[in-house]
């Protein structure tokens, strides 16, 4: 059996009131369409067709290449080259959309199947899709339906006296009686490739919206004498389509709650599951504690016994055991060793690599900096482009002056160096082991091992100095 997956994503998403194509709006930090593509590829097929129209270039770029404009890093799982992009120039309906992908789908054997997913139904699960595929293995068509108290706007599932599926009727074409049906079409279906090809070639747009409805294939299958299978869920979130920002927000909150519950279930202390957002993948050891208003993004790894204070953002980072992040700390692209303490109000930027027992205190910013074991920058410092040894003390107000206006340069600091407060280290410069820098120094010459560097104007005192008097 060959499985082709067609993902519909050509619509504009007018009700999003946004310049971004609807399916590119993020849920848990990644575009909705990417959730759907990931789910499709988790089924083990390489035949994924994306029907795109509005914002086609942006969607393509997201999967294939650099996409800084949209604020997302490009998709890493399935390679863009493995996706087949099919352009639907005019959005003439869901049936018309699927039809655009048909030339890319071989229909050789009765075993060849086509699964249709929607780019704006991001939370559909692999398990349900597999169940749908299995449930309809013996039928040329299977549809995924939902029982809901709020069927408004959705296609109604019409069944006969023996409960067999007869048709799907769109709300705008439905009779009052049909409108009261609360089994609705999720939009997701699986069909035999051979039959689908035939049905789609016979679709008409003779309906209230003047569109080629994919849903009409149900009545066609029935007319051809087939039994149409169905699979049902009561989980509205799983098949909830996103049409506007409110629906997107509700799915986001649901998804985040599920993630927080999964954390709690595996032993993480989450102070408030409604106030932690995970936008990416995290792994963790035992006894992770997450205080309120924490955002975790990208790929993040926590060791054992890590504590994250309130209002922290942790992105693309690896933290060892016994690390404490104090409130208000921002970590981005850093590697942090065991027993480190970071914050409050610290900012670690990409390329920061901290050894065990490092201490970074309030209002300290680090960037592209390696710090050895036990080194400290406790208050108010900028530490950029530096290689720092072990046991170093960086005083309050120290600036690693790494930029000459054109190029960045490196500062090298040996073990056990003490840098007095309010010093400026003008890179490129090296301070060898055991150096002591007097407070308030500007250091722009190399300092040999064990030397005291004093780089400040000598103090002079003027005795008998009279303060000015107001005239
Ligand atoms: C569709 C179903 C309806 C179902 C509902 C579930 C049809 C005719 N109706 O209605 O039974 O209850 O979904 O959410 O299928 N798209 C294209 N090209 C087009 C038209 C649509 O790619 O020409 C894409 C859209 O971008 C979207 C998806 O298909 O991702 C669904 O289209 P939409 O117009 O939202 O369908 P509904 O009217 O909601
Ligand atoms: Ca819709």
The pLDDT, as a whole number, for residue 77 is 45
State the average pLDDT over residues 403-416: 97
The pLDDT, as a whole number, for residue 310 is 98
State the average pLDDT over residues 48-52: 97
243 Cα nearest atom in ligand 1: 35
Q: Which of 226, 254, 379, 409 is catalytic?
A: 379
Q: Counting beta carbons within 10 angstroms of the beta carbon of residue 295, is it exposed (0 to 12), middle (13 to 18) or buried (19 or more)?
A: middle
First to last CA, the chain: 98
The pLDDT, as a whole number, for residue 107 is 86
The pLDDT, as a whole number, for residue 80 is 57
State the average pLDDT over residues 102-106: 95
- Which of 74-78, 193-197, 453-457 is the least confident region? 74-78
The pLDDT, as a whole number, for residue 67 is 46
The pLDDT, as a whole number, for residue 71 is 43
Neighbours of 220 (CB within 10 A): 19
> d(Cα 210, Cα 309) in Å, to the nearest integer?
56
State the average pLDDT over residues 225-249: 95
Domain ranges for the chain, please list them. 3-233, 269-453
The pLDDT, as a whole number, for residue 363 is 98
Over residues 57-101, the pLDDT tens digits come to 999 999 987 544 444 444 444 545 589 999 999 999 999 999 999
The pLDDT, as a whole number, for residue 82 is 83
- Quickly state the pLDDT bin for 1 (edges 50, 70, 90): confident
The pLDDT, as a whole number, for residue 434 is 98
Over residues 363-374, the pLDDT tens digits come to 999 999 999 999
Q: Which fold has domain 269-453?
A: UDP N-Acetylglucosamine Acyltransferase; domain 1 (2.160.10)
Contacts 24+ apart (CB under 8 A), 411-417: 411/385, 411/386, 411/387, 412/386, 412/387, 413/386, 413/387, 413/388, 413/389, 414/389, 414/449, 415/372, 415/389, 415/390, 415/391, 416/389, 416/390, 416/391, 416/392, 417/388, 417/389, 417/392, 417/393
> d(Cα 59, Cα 9) in Å, to the nearest integer?
9
Torsion over CA: 98, 102, 105, 107 (sign): positive
- CATH top class, domain 3-233: alpha beta
Tokens of 372: 């050895």
Residue of 5, 7, 11 to mutate, ligand 1, most atoms within 8 A of C-beta: 11
CA of 135 from ligand 2 middle (Å) equals 25
For atom 17 of ligand 1, the residue with the nearest CA is 10
Ligand showing the shortest atom-to-Cα distance for residue 213: 1
Q: What Å distances lie between residue 388 and 194, 330, 350, CA to CA?
A: 66, 21, 16
- Which of 59-73, 172-186, 217-231, 333-347 is the least confident region? 59-73
Residue 55: CB within 6 Å of ligand 1?
no
Residue 169: CB within 6 Å of ligand 1?
no
For the chain, give the mean pLDDT. Answer: 95
Reply yes or no on whether 379 is catalytic.
yes
Over residues 279-296, the pLDDT tens digits come to 999 999 999 999 999 999
Name the percent of the chain lying above pLDDT 90. Answer: 94
């Amino acid at each position: 059996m060959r499985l082709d997956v067609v993902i519909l994503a050509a619509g504009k998403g007018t009700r999003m009131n946004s310049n971004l194509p609807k399916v590119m709006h993020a849920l848990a930090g990644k575009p909705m369409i990417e959730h759907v593509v990931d789910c499709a590829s988790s089924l083990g097929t390489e035949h994924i067709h994306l029907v795109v129209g509005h914002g086609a270039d942006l969607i393509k770029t997201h999967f294939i290449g650099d996409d800084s404009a949209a604020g997302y890093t490009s998709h890493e799982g399935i390679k863009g080259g493995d996706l087949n992009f099919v352009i639907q120039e005019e959005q003439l309906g869901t049936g018309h959309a699927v039809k655009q992908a048909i030339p890319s789908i071989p229909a050789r054997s009765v075993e060849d199947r086509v699964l249709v997913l929607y780019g704006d139904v991001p939370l559909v699960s692999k398990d349900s899709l597999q169940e749908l595929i299995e449930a309809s293995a013996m039928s040329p068509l299977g549809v995924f339906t939902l029982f809901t108290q709020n069927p408004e706007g959705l296609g109604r599932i019409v069944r006969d006296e023996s409960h067999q599926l007869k048709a799907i009727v769109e709300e705008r074409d439905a009779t009052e009686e049909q409108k009261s049906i609360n089994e609705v079409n999720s939009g997701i279906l699986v069909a035999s490739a051979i039959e689908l090809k035939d049905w789609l070639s016979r679709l008409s747009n003779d309906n209230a919206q003047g569109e080629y409805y994919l849903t009409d294939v149900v009545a066609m299958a029935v007319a051809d004498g087939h039994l149409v299978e169905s699979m049902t869920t009561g989980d509205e979130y799983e098949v909830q389509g996103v049409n506007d920002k409110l629906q997107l927000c509700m799915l986001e909150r649901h998804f985040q709650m599920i993630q927080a519950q999964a954390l709690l279930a595996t032993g993480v202390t989450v102070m408030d599951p409604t106030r932690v957002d995970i936008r990416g993948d995290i792994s963790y050891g035992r006894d992770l504690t997450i205080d309120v208003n924490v955002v975790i993004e990208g790929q993040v790894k926590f060791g054992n016994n890590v504590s994250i204070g309130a209002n922290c953002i942790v992105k693309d980072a690896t933290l060892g055991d016994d690390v404490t992040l104090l409130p208000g700390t921002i970590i981005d692209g850093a590697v942090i060793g065991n027993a480190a303490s970071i914050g409050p109000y610290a900012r670690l930027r990409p390329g920061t690599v901290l050894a065990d027992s490092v201490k970074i205190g309030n209002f300290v910013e680090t960037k592209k900096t390696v710090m050895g074991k036990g080194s400290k920058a406790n208050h108010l410092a900028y530490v950029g482009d530096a290689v720092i040894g072990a046991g170093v003390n960086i005083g309050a107000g120290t600036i690693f002056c790494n930029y000459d206006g054109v190029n960045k340069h490196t500062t090298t600091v040996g073990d056990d160096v003490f840098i007095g407060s309010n010093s400026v280290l003008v890179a490129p410069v090296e301070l060898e082991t055991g150096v002591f820098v007097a407070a308030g120094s500007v250091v722009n010459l190399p300092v040999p091992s064990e030397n005291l560097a004093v780089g400040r104007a000598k103090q002079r005192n003027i005795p008998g100095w009279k303060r000015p008097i107001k005239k």
